[in-house]
Amino acid sequence: MSSQFASDSGSRRAERLRLAVQPIAVVVLVAAVLGWAFSQDNDEVTARSINATSILSLTWTHFLISLAVALIVIVVAVPLGVLLSRSWARPAVPVVIGIANIGQAAPSMGLLVLFFLFTGGSTGFWIAVLPIAFYALLPVLRNTIVGLQQVDPALTDAGRGIGMSATGVLARIELPLAVPYILAGLRTALVLAVGTATLALFVGAGGLGEMIDTGYKLNDWTVMIVGAVLAMALALLVDWLGALAETYLAPRGLR
C-alpha cells in the first residue's frame, strides 16, 4: 500500500512539474525560432511571410478554427454521449460509434476534399471547421459514454433513493464522476483539431498551413520552419490547457 501511495504521489509531482515546464518550453521555443527567423537576411519574398502582421493573422485564424471545432465537438458529442449512455439507447451505441469512427479512420485530407465537393466547391472558414469537427468527434463521444457507464450503479441508486429525479442524478452524480473521462477526450480532440487545421488552407480557410505550404512551394526553409514550429507550439499549448483542465476541473475527490 505504501509503495502504491509513493508511486501515485510521484506521478502527481511529475505531472505538476510538466504543467509548470511545458508552457515555458513552448514560449522559449517560439521566441528562439522567431528570433532566428527575423535575424536572417530575408529577401522580399520571405519578408512577406516573416513579419509580425502575417504571423499573428495566420496564428489567430488557426486558433479560431481550432476553437470552433472544440465548441462544435462539445455541443454535439457530450449530449449525444449522455443519450447513448442511457439503457434504452445502448443498442444504438455501436452504430453511432461506427459512424464517428469513420471520421477518425478516414484521412483528414479526404474528409476536407469530400466536404468541399459536397458543398459544390465552396471555400472558407466553415468548410474547414465542419469536417475537422467530424474528424475530432470520436474521442469526446466515446469518453463521455465510457465515463457515464463506469459510474457505480450503487451511487445512482442511492441518489434515486433520497428522492433525486433522473435529471438530478445525471447532473449531480453521473456527469461530475464522468468529467475526467470527458476532459481527457476533449484534450485529445483539441490536439487533433490543431494538427488537422494546418490543412485548412486547401479550402481557403487560412491558418498556419498557409505558411508551411508557402515555404514548401518556394523552397524557403525559414518560412516552412516558422509555420511548422508555430503549429506545433499551438498544439502543445492546447495540450497543456487540456492537462490543466483535467487536473483542476475534475471533482476534488478524483484528483
Residue closest to 48 by CA, chosen among 212, 255, 211: 211
Each domain of the chain, given as residue ranges in start order, spans 9-254
CB-based contact 145:90 (threshold 8 Å): no
pLDDT confidence of residue 3: 52
Global pTM reads 0.87
Q: Which grid coordinates belong to 141?
A: 463521444
pLDDT confidence of residue 41: 84
Fold of 9-254: MetI-like fold (1.10.3720)
Per residue of the chain (255 residues), what is the pLDDT tens digit? 455 445 555 667 777 788 889 899 999 999 999 999 999 888 888 888 899 999 999 999 999 999 999 999 999 999 999 999 888 888 888 888 888 887 777 778 888 888 888 888 888 899 999 999 998 999 999 999 999 988 888 888 888 888 888 888 888 889 888 998 999 999 999 998 999 999 999 898 989 999 999 999 989 999 999 999 999 999 999 999 988 888 877 666 555
Residue 19 CA to residue 236 CA, distance in Å, equals 11
Phi-psi category of residue 118: left, alpha or beta, with phi > 0 → left and psi -120 to 50 → alpha: alpha
Q: Which grid coordinates belong to 183?
A: 476532459
pLDDT confidence of residue 252: 64
